[in-house]
Structure 1
């Protein structure tokens, strides 16, 4: 058992007495690995008390008086101004007491239960660490699976993803040209675009059908790609579904259907992605794509997207067509429009 991170650097002063006849000594008290460490003023350890065997002689009174379980002759007195240390010890004692076996159970289970309770508390206080661990160990194939599962839930609202022989082939060529993972088109999404785990970007059909050139749709794709790089979509999912689902993903490899349903609803209500302009422009430059068409599609006045207009990396440069006219027409018709 390790001390909780919250108390790792916590120290307090107190009065310690080894036996009833001994003189009380001023000591430094700290919480170590499964122990209460009592040291002299030169930082030399005098004794270690097991946290699982610390008892309080005067509950609710101050100064707090502690002793090892079964040995009331050795005492540690903490003054009432050391409230943080007293609260830390009491919290750990309560956690351990809750884990003690009920009558009829083997006493040896008590220590294991204590370890489990303290470990559970540590995890509860460190959800970020658990989430970070999940993000590191979840393989790409599971990310793809989660992205596909979320797409299926979006389809319940929007309708099935659009497909057609010519349109799907044109979309695949555009995806390869932009060097992004996967792109899906939904027929009636409540927003223009979003991104999901597994490098999956979703567009509403309107970004294809409402504009005369493919640069607008490509701009939405690149912007979502930048947003994905700025904030991992798996992290966003785990932040939204909570600690229990984070733990479920680590232990079973899945997230519950209910949690995915709720998160899919949240996605449709979120505002459009607004990654840093510098990162956007760098991504447009990498793809050799004009940013102006996308900027004016987002704001026809250009007021809110002026940096994308003035910083267009392709200003004054000759650029090859993003795709052939025939492919663009096929892509615009992928939803049957």
Structure 2
């Protein structure tokens, strides 16, 4: 699904807020290929929204307020001066909605006639076209199910996720502080398997226990969590998975709503062994600034000498400021015992 041609590269002024507790910012919003890019007044990218995952909080009212589906805390407002942008977003959202499968109709996808049509059509589709279409129509609930299935595969290798009664709420508070209130349940601490961090479709972030037990301050752990979230934002995690598992994996998900066990097993092993995606210093610094986190503790954790991470140290966006604490001392101590003895 692409944006309507007459609206491609449309720009408008808006007001953006990352979380309910953040200050509202004047921004420039650019409408591209079925996506919204949110930039500050200096041209720095603050966020990138897929219109397929955008919801309107106040249909028919003004100013128009939008938010990512499932995260009403992050908002984007347009006043009447941006009527063209509002109209464009609504038309693109309507076009995308018409292409989605209706809830409760998935069982009909596997009927003989539709399956035959899909199989016949696939001969003429480019693999990347099928991939893009599949990624666009899979709803958030299904992404969560796939993430759960992958986590089940991973824990067969790593062992069950760490959790103690005392650490449960500190872990949720850490997730809320770094990722936002809508992601309180996103963090999973594993005793082994993952080298440092990894992310799954649906939003979960996996942490090796050493990133919780070893650092002297929670800012280090928060830095690893946020950096992994930034990696997840560089490419849709579901798209990344379908690229790795192949064309038939996309076709199976599109027609049946399911992933094969073999594909889940293959991708879980891939996640645990691949090299992390490299992020530029500029992207990391911008992400830490939005989250009000210091880059210096993370930089020294990555390289104790600071030589290879000097730009993160010198560019720490919180220098001279007093950012909100990541966790209280008591919560940090309880969290460090999450894997027990």
TM-score by length of 1: 0.63
Determine which of 273, 282, 291 is the counterpart of 2:295: 291
Alpha-carbon deviations, 1:15-55, whole Å to 9, x = none? xxxxxxxxxxxxxxxxxxxxxxxxxxxxxxxxxxxxxxxxx
Instruction: Find the residue that maps to 1:203 and give its secondary structure.
Output: strand
> What root-mean-square deviation, in Å, do the aligned CA atoms of Structure 1 and Structure 2 show?
1.8
Q: Which runs of 4+ in 1 moved over 6 A?
A: 114-118
1:178/1:287 contact within 8 Å kept? yes
2:194/2:206 contact within 8 Å kept? no
Give the deviation of 1:273 after TM superposition.
3.5
Determine if the alignment matches structure 1 residue 239 to structure 2 residue 239: no
Determine which of 250, 255, 259 is the counterpart of 2:259: 255
Alpha-carbon deviations, 1:254-282, whole Å to 9, x = none? 11001110111111111123223222111
Residue of structure 1 equivalent to 2:277 = 273
Residue of structure 2 equivalent to 1:119 = 121
Residue of structure 1 equivalent to 2:163 = 163
Alpha-carbon deviations, 1:87-141, whole Å to 9, x = none? xxxxxxxxxxxxxxxxxxxxxxxxxxx9988634213xx0100010011100001
Q: 1:314 to 1:257 in 2, by over 3 A?
A: same
Residue of structure 2 equivalent to 1:176 = 176
Alpha-carbon deviations, 1:157-177, whole Å to 9, x = none? 111011111201100011111
Determine which of 317, 323, 326 is the counterpart of 2:321: 317
Residue of structure 2 equivalent to 1:138 = 138
The 2-side partners of 1:253 and 1:275 are apart by 32
The 1-side partners of 2:287 and 2:162 are apart by 27
TM-score by length of 2: 0.62
Residue of structure 1 equivalent to 2:206 = 202
The 1-side partners of 2:323 and 2:121 are apart by 59
Residue of structure 1 equivalent to 2:151 = 151
Alpha-carbon deviations, 1:289-308, whole Å to 9, x = none? 11111111111122222221
- Stretches of structure 1 lacking an aligned partner (at least 5 in a row): 1-113
2:179/2:226 contact within 8 Å kept? no
1:223/1:273 contact within 8 Å kept? no
The 2-side partners of 1:286 and 1:116 are apart by 43
Give the deviation of 1:211 after TM superposition.
0.9
Q: 1:184 to 1:115 in 2, by over 3 A?
A: closer
Residue of structure 2 equivalent to 1:326 = 330
Between 1 and 2, higher relative CO (CA 8 Å, sep ≥ 6) is seen in: 2
The 2-side partners of 1:323 and 1:117 are apart by 53
Instruction: Find the residue that maps to 1:301 and give its secondary structure.
Output: coil
The 2-side partners of 1:300 and 1:118 are apart by 57
2:187/2:205 contact within 8 Å kept? yes
Give the deviation of 1:321 after TM superposition.
2.2
The 2-side partners of 1:316 and 1:117 are apart by 60
1:191/1:272 contact within 8 Å kept? no
- Stretches of structure 2 lacking an aligned partner (at least 5 in a row): 1-115
Give the deviation of 1:320 after TM superposition.
3.3
